[in-house]
Amino acid sequence: MCGIVGIWGPVGNKEHVLAESCRRIRHRGPDSNGFWEDADADLALAHVRLAILDLTEAGHQPMTSACGRYVMVFNGEIYNHLDIRKQLEQSGAAPAWRGHSDTETLLAGFTALGIESTLQAAVGMFAIALWDRASRKLVLARDRMGEKPLYYGYSGAALVFASELKGLMPIPGFGRNLNRNALASFMRHNYIPAPQSIYEGIAKLPPGTWVEFTADDARSRRMPEPRVYWSARAAADAAAQSRLSFESDAQATDALEKVLSKAVGGQMLSDVSLGAFLSGGIDSSTIVALMQAQSSQPVRTFAIGFHEKGYDEAQHAKAVATHLGTDHTELYVTADDALAVVPTLADMYDEPFADSSQIPTSLVTRMARQHVTVALSGDGGDELFGGYSRYFRVDNWWRQFERVPGLLRKPAGAMLSASTHLPGRGAWRGKVGKLGELLRADTRGEFYRLFVSYWSDPARVVKGGVEPVSEFERAMQGSTFFESMMKLDTVTYLPDDILVKVDRAAMAVSLETRVPLIDHRVYEFAWSLPHQYKVRGSTGKWLLRQVLHRHVPQALVDRPKRGFAVPLAAWLRGPLREWADALLDPARLRQEGWFEPEPILRKWREHTSGHRNWDSHLWGVLMMQAWLDRYRAGMDQGGPIEDR
């Protein structure tokens, strides 16, 4: 695991600038750093390394291909790189290997097979920058599911890219203009969807794509359209057209266990210490069980617990660990431990990000890093196998709402929304208010977008912000509503929230994370399953559960899903009250000019009084305000933030 950064264009003393960039993303690669420059082309690449495979100098980056044509910086892991090497050797296209790193394998693949064929052959997670010295073209590429981040765009006249936005800050002219439209998207989702970023002119490369820049592109500041080499949406649609059939449930369980075990085994490849997160839930328990089945030693597992009633799952993790015989470490954290993380979040996440489970995620990654350098996680099971409870709820509500005549929906919705402002308290207000919002929807896509929205009309909250067209505007056709939600979450919520949350928290402490459930072969297999193997009755992840029950007694793992949550609502009324009051100061909100203060302040008053619970809505505003504080104060590193 590593961090990459580069500049193509008229920036003086690139080595000095990129040395500072590397210093700011050193947490992604504390073991070494490297620099390479093509002075004639006005291009420079830099790299910080967390050594996982081939710990010798043979794995050092930037790395030049054996033929001398290509130079590459690479962040990630290619789990099947030894298979690719063997194929190159059998075809006579392999160079004389200098070491056993996957970086060298990729370069050999690009040389022999070309860009797209190599990307399609690679199984893994990655963000790549490849410089072609012969044609003077720069290629940027990102893994299929979006595990590894890659930002790119223009700073002044220079084309720039980096693993994290803070790596771009030392570049002259970077970060002067914030993106109000991206802020509007953030207020809806509590994350900024790709390809947007918080900065004007800087994009996130979408998962499963690569983009090629020529010298003419760089001179004219053109942003070529990314090319798709693999699409989660298209792969799901294709797999669904050729559903598998099985003679028995046991045969289906065998098939899933085989493909998932292969993915887990591949991701256990490491020259350094390795472990796994274990919450005691279905997904993480399955990953750990399959790891332990392939390991001759007890697998290292990690869990954190909370003393607050209703938020502690460490006891369940311990029971699973005991049954499997793992080398288990747990840490019970206090509210003070968790609250101490809050001031670090703006720096950790680089741009506004407001999934409050980022707090326990940062705590468990910090603990795991004290023992291992690589950790596998169980993320992705809900999206692939229908595990989120909201899928059942939304599917049922939509069936009910379809029975309401269209002319009555919006008036009924307005009445329900208005009723939540009547005197009194109660949790019913949140549900009634959400129902009122949902009755405004005319399509399934709009219905689901409103259901998962925090601020349902961000344009009324963000001054001058207009939401760009998103995946939710695409018609939900060709699937049941239930499967459409799963597919939509896979291309939005999973890469832009879940994987961002884990990557930034883990890399902040130099921990590499791997996610076997979203191996593209597992993904394609899951979408080829008939729906009955994912959902039976009111039970999601049905087939995944059958695999787990072969290794862990059902009684240890079958319980209601809680998620990785913290008591945020109570904290905002208690120990975080003073911090939040300062960030939501009315005079400050008006002076800064990003938000319309009144809708925010009304929710803050209702929340602190106990009239309503607006913790998630407010968390988004607070994370934006904290981010503004961090970067306004810290732009001595790159110049002041200005609004365009």
Nearest Cα residue to 268 out of 242, 245, 226, 296: 296
The dihedral formed by the CA atoms of 502, 366, 630 and 567, expressed in degrees to the nearest 10: 80
Nearest Cα residue to 515 out of 621, 628, 398, 384: 384
| Secondary structure, 3-state, 485-547 | HHHHHHHCHHHHHHHHHHHHHHHCCCCEEECHHHCHHHHHHHHHCCHHHCCECCECCHHHHHH
Active-site amino acid positions:
2
Rounded Cα gap, residues 196 and 178, in angstroms: 11
* Cβ neighbours for 237, distance < 8 A, ≥ 6 positions apart: 478, 479
Rounded Cα gap, residues 42 and 535, in angstroms: 55
How crowded is the C-beta side of 563, counted as CA atoms within 13 Å?
A: 14
How crowded is the C-beta side of 222, counted as CA atoms within 13 Å?
A: 12
Structure tokens at 134: 């012969």
Q: β-strand 2-8 against 512-514: which pairing, if any?
A: unpaired
8 Å CB contact between 176 and 161: no
**CA distances in angstroms from 214 to 59, 72, 138, 500, listed in the order given:** 28, 16, 7, 30
SS3 (DSSP) at 207: coil
- What angle is formed at CA 577 by the lines to CA 575 and CA 582, rounded to 5 degrees? 130
Rounded Cα gap, residues 167 and 373, in angstroms: 22
What is the distance, to the nearest Å, from the Cα of residue 505 to the centroid of all Cα atoms in its chain? 11
Structure tokens at 159: 């084309």
Rounded Cα gap, residues 204 and 150, in angstroms: 6
- List 5's β-bridge partners, or say none: 46, 162
Rounded Cα gap, residues 583 and 423, in angstroms: 28
